[in-house]
Amino acid sequence: MSTLKILTYPEKFLLQPTLPLENIDGNVQQMIDAMADTMYKAPGIGLASIQVGWDRSVLIYDISARDEKRGLHVLINPRIISSEGEVVSDNEGCLSVPDFRADVKRSERILVEGHDREGKPLHLEAEGLHAIVLQHEIDHLNGKLFIDRISSLKRELYKRRVRKALRENETAL
Ligand code: NI
């Protein structure tokens, strides 16, 4: 089991859009396995490549309940083709935004195109938690965090809290 370091806000790398992954080779498979180990250990239900310092477009997720058998899904170069409806994603969180949760407006249903880890084309129709996870992770691949989708007041409160914590860490040294 090899786990990767998860970058957290305000790390600037998280804000850059990923590039398309062009070559699905053995290194990519190893990286996907390491991402899966990292996600399960965290634990989280989704993880995007950019969160572990990889700037190619790959996301993984597993929304099966904890006591069920694992169901890992891998999406390479995903794109939202269409979306409809609106839902509030209750108390959304992110491994890259620790100790913070907020309600986020998301599309209710989406259509996603991409490739699986073997490079086979995938078309997914998603709703509910499935649609929310995909939107959250695809946002990551586009350099976006869920705090970019909340009110500026809430976002400022969070940013101030992080700045304060970072200052306190400095003085503790
Ligand atoms: Ni996230």
* Model pTM above 0.85: yes
Q: In this structure, are residues 59 and 96 in contact, taking their beta carbons and an 8 Å threshold? A: no
What's the gap in Å between 137 CA and the centre of ligand 1?
Answer: 6
What's the gap in Å between 18 CA and the centre of ligand 1?
Answer: 14
Residues 40, 10, 30, CA angle at the centre, nearest 5°? 35
Per-residue DSSP letters for 31-88? HHHHHHHHHHHTT-SEEEGGGGT--B-EEEE--S-TTSPP--EEEEEEEEEEEE--EE
Q: What is the pLDDT of residues 120-162, one digit of tens each?
A: 999 999 999 999 999 999 999 999 999 999 999 999 999 999 9
| Residue extents of the structural domains in the chain | 12-172
Q: Which residues pair with 87 in a beta bridge?
A: 106
- Catalytic site residue from 113, 118, 137, 170: 137
- Topology of 12-172 in CATH? Peptide Deformylase (3.90.45)
Q: What is the pLDDT of residues 50-73, one digit of tens each?
A: 999 999 999 999 999 766 778 999
Mean pLDDT of the chain: 95
Q: Identify the helix (H) or strand (E) that includes residue 162.
A: helix 152-172
Average pLDDT over residues 99-120: 97
What's the gap in Å between 150 CA and the centre of ligand 1?
Answer: 14
Q: Identify the helix (H) or strand (E) that includes residue 6.
A: none
pLDDT for res 70: 83
Whether 125 is catalytic is no
